[in-house]
């Protein structure tokens, strides 16, 4: 089983406590309040990068099941980021097409499933990773801009 991520929260008996507020655990993913804060964006971005890198690494090892799992995680983080990006932020607007591309490529991976040769899913997985890397650059700029 893959480890649960709490993004700095405390995992206690099926719930995650962030800043004193409990959030339910949903399908192995710690639910978070998406308020569009820069910290939330950055945490999702870092987790998304890690999953994208792990996905390609597992693909190189021939583990199709792990490719599908990590791509699913990439999609969840990308969707959370899309919901949390401030609408007027120019860097957020630049990150959006890259996040959508990562989601699209991960949907291809999901369509292939884990029963195919891992090389088949590695191609869209690699494209998703490239899109994630590019989106992360723009998301980091959101952080830098807000700190000024």
Same domain, 52 and 16: no
Same domain, 116 and 100: yes
Q: How confident is the model at residue 36 (pLDDT cuts 50, 70, 90)?
A: low
Range of the domain at 19: 1-33
Same domain, 2 and 70: no
Question: What tokens does 92 get?
Answer: 């957020």
Same domain, 135 and 100: yes
Backbone φ, ψ for residue 116 (5° rounding): -90, 170
Q: Among the ranges 2-11, 57-66, 97-106, which has the highest mean pLDDT value?
A: 97-106
Same domain, 47 and 87: yes
Long-range contacts of 40-43 (CB under 8 A, 24+ apart): 40/80, 40/84, 41/81, 41/84, 41/85, 41/139, 41/142, 41/143, 42/139, 42/140, 42/143, 43/7, 43/8
Same domain, 85 and 102: yes
Tell me, what CATH number does 89's domain have?
Answer: 1.20.120.660
Same domain, 99 and 120: yes
Same domain, 115 and 47: yes
Q: Which tops the pLDDT comparison, 7 or 94?
A: 94
Same domain, 64 and 136: yes
The mean per-residue pLDDT over the stretch 60-67 comes to 88
Strands laid side by side in the 10-12 sheet: 10-12, 15-18, 21-26, 29-30
Same domain, 46 and 115: yes
> Is the pLDDT reported for residue 32 higher than 90?
no
The mean per-residue pLDDT over the stretch 105-126 comes to 91
- The mean predicted confidence, pLDDT, of the chain is 77
Same domain, 17 and 80: no
């Amino acid at each position: 089983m893959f480890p649960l991520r709490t993004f700095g929260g405390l995992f206690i008996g099926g719930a995650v406590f962030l800043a004193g507020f409990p959030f339910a655990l949903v399908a192995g993913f710690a639910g978070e309040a998406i308020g569009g804060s820069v910290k939330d964006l950055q945490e999702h971005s870092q987790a998304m990068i890690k999953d994208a890198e792990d996905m390609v690494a597992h693909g190189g090892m021939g583990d199709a099941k792990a490719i599908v799992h990590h791509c699913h995680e990439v999609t969840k983080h990308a969707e959370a980021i899309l919901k949390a990006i401030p609408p007027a932020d120019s860097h957020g607007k630049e990150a959006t097409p890259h996040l959508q591309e990562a989601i699209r490529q991960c949907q291809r991976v999901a369509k292939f499933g884990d029963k195919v040769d891992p090389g088949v899913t590695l191609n869209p997985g690699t494209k998703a990773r490239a899109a994630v890397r590019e989106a992360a650059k723009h998301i980091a700029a959101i952080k830098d801009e807000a700190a000024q």
